Amino acid sequence: MPLRSTKSAALLVLAATPTAALCCLRAGATRVTLLRARSVVRLATPSDEDLFASLRARLSNGDDPKALQPLGPDEVSAVSLGPADLIKYVMDALVQKRFEVLLGFAAAVEGGKTMDFVGQLQPGAFSSPEALISFMDKEARYRTMLRISEWKPMGQCVLSNLSRNGQQKLLVRPATGNWEELYLNIQLVPYLEASKRWIITSMHKAGTADS
């Protein structure tokens, strides 16, 4: 899997959007960068702690049970965030039009290839939420992803390759549309010193409800 430069990953953790800063590192970051990012969190100065508190406050919607809560680096490991938890977190984010969360959990793609060899969309190929949204808006198959108001899993995530890969079938629909099929492919990858985390490698929308 391609690795992003230490400089780029560090900037993502410290200076990107609030969700990217608190939710997780991009899946392609190097081991050195991941360790550096964790050190920043653990050895934060008072001013850093104030900054992270401010970020959490801006991302939180008070006592709203449907509000998407930010996650810290230690909260995205496979121990804390299993396949079902990852799928729920990302899909709830998409309902709230939080596409930066999808990018935050997406595997980095070298060369910016938006589709893999079997025609599945690779979210990690996009450099920003705006770029991903623009692509989906131009593709009839994925346009529903911009208008999701409801989703539900169809069974459990099917694991393969000694439980290192998985695929989750979902149904999604806009507020005034019919249910459509969506498949999310996930992978278990190394994270921090001796931990692992689940990331999204690709997704596939099985046409539109009218096709």
Q: Please check the confidence at residue 50 and state whether its pLDDT lies above 50.
A: yes
Q: What is the pTM of this model?
A: 0.71
Query: Residue 194: which pLDDT band, with cuts at 50, 70 and 90?
Result: confident
Confidence of residue 17 (pLDDT cuts 50, 70, 90): very low
More confident residue, 149 or 209: 149
Check if the beta carbon of residue 66 is closer than 8 Å to that of residue 93: no
Mean pLDDT of the 162-170 span:
97
Structure tokens at 45: 């100065």
Beta strands, E only, 34-162: 148-153, 158-160
Domain-by-domain residue ranges, the chain?
Answer: 6-62+70-205
Rounded CA separation 183/87 (Å)? 11
C-alpha dist (Å) from residue 87 to 99, 106, 111, 156, 179: 14, 12, 26, 11, 18
Residue 193 pLDDT level (bands cut at 50, 70, 90): confident
pLDDT per residue over 78-133, tens digit each? 999 999 999 999 999 999 999 999 999 999 998 889 999 999 999 999 999 999 99
* Residues 48-73, mean pLDDT to the nearest whole number: 66
Q: What is the pLDDT of residues 124-148, one digit of tens each?
A: 999 999 999 999 999 999 999 999 9
Contacts of 39 (CB under 8 A, 6+ apart): none
pLDDT of amino acid 67: 76
> Which H helix or E strand runs over 54?
helix 46-59
Q: Would you state the pLDDT for residue 1?
A: 52
User: Is 6-62+70-205 a domain of CATH 3.10.450?
Assistant: yes
Greater confidence (4 vs 177) lies with 177
Across the range 7-27, mean pLDDT stands at 39
- If you average pLDDT over residues 56-79, what whole number do you get? 75
pLDDT at 77 over 80: yes
Distance CA 116, CA 105 (A): 17
The answer for residues whose C-beta is within 8 angstroms of residue 126's C-beta and 6 or more apart is: 103, 112, 114, 132, 135
